[in-house]
Structure 1
Amino acid sequence: MPDETVGVVGAGIVGLATAREITLRRPGTRVVVFEKEREVSLHQTGHNSGVVHAGIYYAPGSLKAGLTVRGVSLLREYCQDRRLPYQEIGKLVVAVRDDELGRMNSLYERARNNHVPDLRKISQEEIRELEPNVGGVAALHSPRTAITDYPAIARAFAQDVTGSGGEVRLGFPVTGITDVPGGIEVASARERVRVDRLILCAGLQSDVVARLAQDGREPRIVPFRGEYLLLRPGRTDLVRGLVYPVPDPRYPFLGVHFTPRVDGSVEVGPNAVLALAREGYTRTRVSPRDLLGLAAYPGTWRMAARHWRTGVREYRGSFSRTAFMKDARLYVPGVGVQDVVRGGAGVRAQALDRDGTLVDDFRIHRAGRVTAVRNAPSPAATAAMAIAEHIVHAAFEDAPATRHP
């Protein structure tokens, strides 16, 4: 008989990394992953840009900062061991105007406090040496920033879980979470499973699932769709590595950037527009239930009052390729509308507090037998293995740990 049964809701990269971590750290524990879809990593993980972030942007001392830096080293080692793609192609964070230099320098100091390896400031001439087609007056160069294949990593995590005797139950939409004597009952429309502890890693549905577990109604998840264009195959040589803008610290999104992928394609984007459904990967996907939930939440209107100008600009880019590429041309002046085709889109699960604040840091907490991930946006894929360590520590802090093999 197993020592204990632990359920994990959600088979994205964070949920699967957590399930894997339990099997490694606590041998003898039975792990069951519950996933509503018929395959793993279908949503945020499956629509990820593939960037392994180095930790440049995150407030020193935050969970994001610490877990990202730790997560990079774990992820690199895992990819090497499993022969999964991991390419350190480097990143430029480019200031295109003199008035951005102050923010760029602040970002540099933040990154140094986060121990980002080998980061340096470079001049306009050095930008041209690294990226001949990139404009800008100065930049930060992060040579260790990498790209990978997160869906492949998630599938490998799932294999690790099942190979250690755990289960990944696909097609199991969680509809009920109930306290029972000595444990928790997790229910779908057709089945009920009893577990001793439960970990919620439900991504776009994290607030919905948390409410099932009586974990509270806030923060709420607001879905933001990020839309991409793709450079035409004959123009992918316009960039050699990742090219990013200096971000606006008032907004949690990084702006339009150039992202080479491990398959050789290059994405341009994303924008960030409010999606009309939690899984709204297209403009035409509308969920009345999700819209009603957004409209009824006071935080939505307070957010809109603060950021409506940015929202208008982002929507303009969504409907006009010319407007979208106007931002991209600031960084690669030689790129034009004729050089791109419509690409894919992802939806970010962004937590929003009642006062209209977009939650920046990861939010993970425990209440009794339930440990809930309430906010884990980018760079959660990068940090997934370190987030898993953090979650398992929180979930089992009342139980003696077993040494990692």
Structure 2
Amino acid sequence: MSISRVAVVGAGILGVAAAREVTTRFPDAEITVFDKAENVAAHQSGHTSGIVDSGLDQEPGSAEAKLTRRGLQLLIPYMAEAGVPYRECGQLLIAQNTDEAERLEEIFARAEDNEVPGVRLLERHEIGAVEPAVRGVLGLFSPHAAITDFSALTAALASDVRAAGGTFRFGSEVTGFDTMSNEVRLRGRPVPADDSPAGDGAAAGETGEDDRGTDQAGDQAGSSEGADDRDRRDDQVHDRDRRDDQVRDRPRTYRGEEGREPVIGIADELRDRFGQQDWFKQAESTLGEWTQKVSDAWANRDGSRPGDSGSRTGGAGSRAGDAPSGRSRSEAPAEEVLGTFDIVIVCAGLQADRLAVAAGLDAEPRIVPFTSDFYRSSATDTEVVRGIIGSVPDPPAPFTETSIVRGLDDGLVLGPNTFVALGREAYDRHGFDLADITSTARSKGFWKFAAQTAKTAARGVKPRVSKTAFVDGIRRFVPELDPNAVAPGARGVRAQAMTAEGELIDELTMTRRGRLTVVRSVPKWAATSALAIAETIVDRAFENAAR
């Protein structure tokens, strides 16, 4: 099988790890990674607490447990070689009552079956020897649990891809696929710099490179682009401009087959069709003024917060901003051909279901976004916690699990405080995206999930809307934590895959069509297992191509 051109859509940790795996197996192949953001790890990979999962609570013998074990085997030596920060600090899960203690014993049994090294139960009087400030009736201690910087890890993987000759095209939004017998054509459009989504408070180590259009940054040392590369890029642009008009004007639809999930945002479609009409400009201006007033009202009520901007009414991740920001959105670039490839791998995370539909695949499972708010504590509390302290997972309430972590900078990170997001890329604390809200509301699976978890969700409402209530919940097992020293930190948005029956999918699933492979869902701790998951993704993608 001859493979010379491979594209990866998505520059999160999984997409970059998959690209690196391809360069290892096919060193002569030309690898291109596309992402609409400005840099690697712009979304989920760059907005975590940094915990390296040790596989405590995974079903023994499951594919996820095997991926975690294999992932750690690959991850730890790689980080040592690449110089990525990694600190083994131990993890302590704390039970506060008999029900939690019973669940903790079940987790301990699974951890032993998964051969997690050194894991043990701690009685009440033994807990203080590990974490002096912690209170509880029973503890589960995993001494080799660790923390890292997943943004820095992704940047290191990206450096490997570049060193192998790979290219990153940031600011390029993929919007469609033309799947043929032995190749795939990508369609998309450039994302203007002021519209490219980027989350506030990204984890330390994020590169911040701006390789728009084609990769101009080279490796991390900042090597300059050669003349041959510039000539090739100019030829690519010239060829793109000469493409067939039928391809240029290929009709776009905002609905997939059988009326499924929108392929592109309906707001974008309306702008493309009516953007030059006076009535549409007036309606858009009025809507923008209204959303600005709503946002300003919220900002004035709560007071300004670091990192928030009252002018970002549509949120950092609004697909088109959904509000004027000094430039008419009717100027959105037209769709164009991004290239034709032998193999295409899509690791799009929050946009996985939409790109699957754009490729003509089933809309299920759908992505429901959940916001993960983190808080930080000032330096006065850093000695209160030595490593990672977490609550006991509760299966009927999957989003109530929280932890307090002593980070690489010795500050404390609390969270996540998780609730349904108002946008797939809404990192602004006052931000929202009407198209994303509509998408969630249209999902039958989401409403079934909401009904199934209504009781536990009701109990968790107060901590979700009140920082004080959230911190009080953590102080149940760390009473010495000073609530006055806690302030809002980073915000992440988690891509939760969900079936039409409202069941959460916490495993690696992929959908294939010819030479196209789309990753639909990944395990919760996918960052830890990224190198192992990349092996599996590439296995499946190239197995498909061999047929």
Pairing 1:338–2:502 present: no
Runs of at least 5 residues in structure 2 that lack an aligned partner in the other structure: 190-335
Q: Is the 2:397–2:457 contact (alpha carbons within 8 Å) kept by the matching residues of 1?
A: no
8 A contact 1:227–1:318 mirrored in 2:
no
Question: Does residue 403 of structure 2 align to residue 247 of structure 1?
Answer: no
Q: Which residue does the alignment assign to 2:452?
A: 306
The answer as to 2:538 corresponding to 1:392 is yes
Counting only pairs closer than 5 Å after superposition, residues 249-288 of structure 1 correspond to structure 2 as 249-253=395-399, 255-288=401-434
Q: Which residue of 2 aligns with 1:403?
A: none
Match of 1:102 in 2: 102
* Deviation of 1:267 (Å): 0.8
Give the deviation of 1:399 after TM superposition: 6.6
| 1:4 positional shift | 2.3
Q: 1:384 to 1:399 in 2, by over 3 A?
A: same
Q: Deviations over 1:30-76 (max 9, x none)?
A: 21111111111100011121111001122223332111111112111
Q: What is the alpha-carbon distance in structure 1 between the residues aligned to residue 147 and residue 524 of structure 2?
A: 14
- The 2-side partners of 1:383 and 1:37 are apart by 23
Q: Which amino acid aligns with 2:34?
A: F
Partner residue, 1:135: 135
Matched, 1:58 2:65: no
Task: Give 1:269 shift.
Answer: 1.3
Which residue identity is paired with 2:54?
Answer: A
SS at match of 1:382: coil
Q: Deviations over 1:266-311 (max 9, x none)?
A: 1111121100100122442111111111111111111111112333
Question: CA shift at 1:364, angstroms?
Answer: 2.6
Query: Highest Rg: 1 or 2?
Result: 2
What amino acid maps onto 2:148 in structure 1? T
Q: What SS does the aligned partner of 1:397 have?
A: helix
Q: Is the 8 A contact 1:363 1:374 kept in 2?
A: yes
Give the stretch that moved more between structures: 255-264 or 137-146.
255-264
State how far apart, in whole Å, the 1-side matches of 2:156 and 2:532 are: 16
Q: Mark the CA change 1:377 to 1:3 in structure 2 (over 3 Å): closer, same or farther.
A: closer
Which residue identity lines up with residue 448 of structure 2 in the other structure?
A: R
Name the aligned partner's letter for residue 341 of structure 1: A
With normalisation by structure 2, the TM-score equals 0.71
Give the C-alpha shift of residue 362 in structure 1.
2.3
Which stretch of structure 1 is more off in the superposition, 140-149 or 339-348? Answer: 339-348
Shift of the alpha carbon at 1:168? 1.2
SS at match of 1:188: strand
Residue 159 of structure 2 is matched in structure 1 by 159
- 315-324 or 146-155, larger mean C-alpha shift: 315-324
How far apart, CA to CA, are the structure 1 residues paired with 2:34 and 2:62? 29
Most deviating of 289-298 and 279-288: 279-288
1:369 lines up with 2:521 in the alignment: no
C-alpha distance in 2 between matches for 1:257 and 1:181:
48
CA contact (8 A) 1:272 1:314 kept: no
Pair 59,282 (structure 1): closer, same or farther in 2 beyond 3 Å: farther
Deviation at 1:251, TM superposition (A): 3.5
Tell me by how many angstroms 1:377 deviates: 4.8
The structural deviation recorded for 1:253 is 3.4
SS at structure 1 position matched to 2:174: coil
State yes or no: 1:149 paired with 2:295: no
Structure 1 runs not aligned, ≥5 long: 401-405
Alignment partners' CA distance in 2, 1:264 and 1:335: 15
Question: Which piece of structure 1 moves more, 256-265 or 196-205?
Answer: 256-265
Distance in structure 2 (CA, Å) of the matches to 1:314 and 1:195: 47
Residues 321, 337 of structure 1: 8 Å contact kept: no
Q: Which structure carries more strand by proportion? A: 1
Q: Which amino acid aligns with 2:173?
A: P
What count of residue pairs does the alignment treat as equivalent? 399
- Post-superposition shift, 1:398? 5.4
**Percent identity for Structure 1 against Structure 2:** 41
2:520 partner SS: strand
- In 1: Cα distance, 2:7 partner to 2:179 partner: 13
Residues 316-327 of structure 1 correspond to what in structure 2 (within 5 A)?
316-327=462-473
- Structure 1 residues 254 and 77, CA gap change in structure 2 (3 angstroms): farther
